[in-house]
Amino acid sequence: MPYVILRQDQNPNSWIALPNDSLEFWKLIDGKAPASSNEPLRIELAEESEEPTDFFDFPYWIVSNTMKMALIEFGVNNIDYFPVTLFKFGNETEHSGYYLCSIAESLSCVDQEKSHFKVRLPGKQGSLRNFQIDERIVDDRLLFRLKENPQLILISVRLKEHLQNCGLKGIYYQETDKYDGNPVSSFWES
C-alpha cells in the first residue's frame, strides 16, 4: 500500500506561533503526551494567521474536531487527542474544537536502497530526501510517525482518499519521492 506525507497547506495562510514553553511541546515529536490538565491547552495562532483550518503540522500536529472524527471514523486508533483552544494575541476571538495530537507509533521503514538517505556519526543529524517506504515493515498501517525523521507523519493512500472526500481544509499530501528534506518546504511549492 503506498504512503504519502500528510502536510499543512499554507495557501490558507494559517499557522501556529511557537510557544514560549516549546521544549515541552517538542516532546510530542517523540510521541510523548503533554503535561495533563483539566482545562484545554491554549495555543497561539501566528499574528499573520487568518481563519484556522482543519490541520496544522508545525511545530506539532493540531486537528479540528472535523478532522479528528474523520480519522476515528476511518479506524485510525494510534493518536491521543488533547483539547486545545486556538487564539490570537490581542484578539478576543478564540477557536475551540481543536486537538493537539500525540502519535506514539514510530516505524523505521525507509527503504535505504531506494532512497536518498545519509546516516551521520552518532550524535549528528542525518538527512533524508526522496525516500521510499519498505511496505513489508509497514504492514497496512493507516498512519504512523517516520522514525528516520519523527517530524514526518505518513498516511496510507486509502486514508488520504478518505480525508479528501471529507472536504477538510489546510491539508497538502506530499509524495515521499518528492520530499526534499525540509520540514516546511511544501509551504512554498505551489
DSSP letters, 22-81, are HHHHHGGGGTPPPPP-SSPEEEEBPTT--S--SEE-SSS-EEEHHHHHHHHHTT--SEEE
Helices 157-165 and 65-73, interaxial angle, to 10°?
130
With bands split at pLDDT 50, 70 and 90, how would you rate the model's confidence at 162?
very high
Whether the per-residue pLDDT at 172 is higher than 50: the answer is yes
The domain in which residue 71 lies consists of 3-182
Whether the per-residue pLDDT at 185 is higher than 50: the answer is no
Whether the per-residue pLDDT at 186 is higher than 50: the answer is no
Number of structural domains the chain divides into: 1
Q: Are 104 and 78 in contact (CB under 8 A)?
A: yes
Residue 86 lies in a domain: yes
Residue 187 lies in a domain: no
- Residue 100 CB coordination number (10 Å): 21
Residue 169 lies in a domain: yes
Whether the per-residue pLDDT at 79 is higher than 70: the answer is yes
Residue 189 lies in a domain: no
Whether the per-residue pLDDT at 104 is higher than 70: the answer is yes
Residue 141 lies in a domain: yes
Residue 22 lies in a domain: yes
Residue 76 lies in a domain: yes
Cα angle value 132/184/120 (rounded, 5°): 55
Residue 136 lies in a domain: yes
